[in-house]
Chains A and B, each alone.
Chain A
Amino acid sequence: MAKNNVPLDELQVTERDPRTGKEISLPALHPNRCEDRCFVLYKPPSQDGSPAEVEEYLEQAQFIAEDLDWVLSLPHDKFWCQVVFDESLQKCLESYLRLAPRGCDSDMTTSPAVSDMQKHLHRSVFFTFLRMATHKESKDHFITPAVFGEIIYNNFLFDIPKILDLCVLYGKGNGPLLHKMIENIFSQQEAYYSDLDETLPTVLQVLDNILKKCGLQTDGAFTGEPQKLGVQGAPSLTDISLMDFVDVVQFLCDTCTTLCSFLDIFPTACKTFQNHKFLTRLACFYEILVPELETAIRRRTSEDKSIQEDLWRRLCHSRKKMIEIAHFLINYCCLQPILESSSENINLFVEDFLQIFTTLIQEKRFLADYDEQFPVADDISLLQQVSPFLDDTRTSYILQGVESAWEGLGRKKHGVPTTHT
């Protein structure tokens, strides 16, 4: 146990050697102090599972629940020995994050026993991660912050995919706690920022892959590179099987919800996203994909009506999330700094804002949908208030672009547009 304010990473403990029976001194954080306990991997409950499947799930989940409750009851030093040196614990936690049912998954009709067990696991997994993200548990139980950063990074206790999963699983109900967790992880270990930076091309690749699956894009076209002649495109959205189509829409829905929850919980990441021009890419992705998916869903008349409605709801949800992502990026990278900055810095952010919207003008569908949720005129009005020398030509150009986006789609604006003087 840590005493006299000695951090865990410097603490020595005396224990009896099980082989020799002699007392030995060893670091508190030592593999020999890790209990021999094999954590099983999580398997999600199956939908409408047979009694045997339910029993199998309950048995396996019970093992995990008991083991995690045991881990959470361990004293500080023993907890850290277990999380650092027990690989099976990490694999178990990872399997839960990867496979646990998301809120956006199809409604599962599970028995109350399964539902209760799932809730228990859900809570225990969260608190295990919360404890792993806490370097100071109490006055006497803590780890030197720099060493904590090394421990969580070098032992892969957290990585970017895990953080994304944590956000989508727990962000809605436990946002403030999750925000503290992730902020602490990034502030104690700056290498996570580099990891996030390196992950962004993969995230963009995910968007590209969705387009490819929909037969809307081949390699490189999304990034503006020339397409190879003679390359056979993927089958179009109306040609692919219903199962593949549902997969695409569900994947889109999951991707958008995950990214949106991450930026909501950890807005600092917006900057890294924008370093990769994420907003422009997202708008382009939206512009290509959304109308095509809408048409494809409408055309799939032969299928079950409830499936069709579910696909529509998921597409609408994805649209909303993409628009929210865009708003998070604009808000964090431009609007918030404008409101907080001293006058000499404001022009930089105003310029960024104008640049972004000048680029977005060509993405008419995206722009109209964005404007419907977050009126561009309101933001421009803000810019006019803080930056009196704002170039009216540029702002008018953007506002006209927005109007033209609405008109181009044959849509009318709802509500009275904000007037600016």
Chain B
Amino acid sequence: IIIPSKQQGTLSYSNIVFQESIQLIIPLLQEVFSKASLTWKKIVQFINEHLGKKEQQVVTEELRAVLRAAKEIVGDEYGQEMIESAAVFLFKIFYDKDQVGHEETRAIKQMFGPFPLSSVDAACSAINKVASFFEETQIETFLKVHSISHLKDQVPFGKNISFSFDMYSVDTFLDISLKMKDNEDTKGFGLDY
């Protein structure tokens, strides 16, 4: 069996010897990614939640560039899910790096095998532009928070229960008559005196 170069990295990741069937390897990489708690969708959602509309437009282009680079690295035979997982992988590697260094090259090679350097450069540059819209610790915290349950077998309690962050706040009293309109009726209630 001739194993495509992009899949050789999977072998080193999974410790499966070269001769073993490639059929075993693809699902393995998919399984590794499927257990990750951070998804591309979550990254996009996080970015959109924290940026204004104008900034979102700029960032959307950069995110597309990351996906394109991920597709070039992984190859398009595995489908969108795999490409997005690779984009997450790249995002985690490059969000705090200005350029592609030796460590990063090694990590990508180990995961995906030989890759086009131009694609990795493009991914690094695009991710850097995205990161420039955020504070230094902001993305780091987001990634940490979403990596906590990474690769855990046990589904955390409450994972499928919806939760609201809504809290009691001091009412603005636009809708109730207890507000300062008392001062219309009585002896100058309110702050306009």
Contact = CB atoms under 8 A, between A and B. Distances in A.
Nearest to B171: A317
A13 interface: no
Q: Does more than half of chain B's interface fall in helix, strand or loop, or is it mixed? A: loop
B149 interface: yes
B107 to A, nearest CB: 23
A72 interface: yes
B158 A72 contact: yes
A414 B177 contact: yes
Given A69-B148, A112-B135, A127-B158, A320 B171 contact: yes
Interface string B112-143: 00000000000000000000001101101110
B19 interface: no
Contacts of B173: 313, 316-317, 320
A54 interface: yes
Contacts of B165: 119, 122-123, 173
Contacts of A172: 164, 166-168
Interface string A173-210: 11001000000000000000000000000000000000
A35 interface: no
A65 B193 contact: no
Interface in A301-332: 305, 308-309, 312-314, 316-317, 319-320, 323
Contacts of B135: 111-113
A174 B162 CA distance: 9
B178 A369 contact: yes
Nearest to B134: A112
Nearest to A253: B170
B64 interface: no
B180 A116 contact: no
B2 interface: no
Q: Which interface class (under 10, 10 to 19, 20 to 34, 35 or more) fits B?
A: 35 or more
Contact of A313 (B141, B172, B193): B172
B148 to A, nearest CB: 5
B15 interface: no
Nearest to B169: A103
A65 B148 CA distance: 8
Nearest to B189: A294
A104 B170 CA distance: 5
Interface residues of A, number: 61
A205 to B, nearest CB: 23
Interface string B144-161: 110011001011111001
A173 B169 contact: no
A410 interface: yes
Interface in A256-311: 257, 261, 294, 297-298, 305, 308-309
A117 interface: yes
B178 A173 contact: no
B140 A113 contact: yes
B185 A116 contact: no
B176 interface: yes
B152 A120 contact: no
Contacts of B137: 54-55, 58, 111, 113
Nearest to A171: B168
A45 to B, nearest CB: 12
A35 to B, nearest CB: 14
Contacts of A104: 168-170
B154 A75 contact: yes
B35 interface: no
A73 interface: yes
Interface in A126-174: 126-127, 130-131, 137, 168-169, 171-174
Interface of A: 54-55, 58, 62, 65-66, 69, 72-75, 79, 102-104, 111-113, 116-117, 119-120, 122-123, 126-127, 130-131, 137, 168-169, 171-174, 177, 253, 257, 261, 294, 297-298, 305, 308-309, 312-314, 316-317, 319-320, 323, 369, 372-373, 409-412, 414
* Closest A-B pairs by Cβ, 6 of them: A173-B164, A103-B167, A173-B166, A127-B158, A113-B141, A103-B169
Interface of B: 50, 134-135, 137-138, 140-142, 144-145, 148-149, 152, 154-158, 161, 163-173, 176-180, 182, 185-191, 193
6 contacts: A58-B137, A112-B138, A113-B138, A172-B166, A174-B164, A298-B189
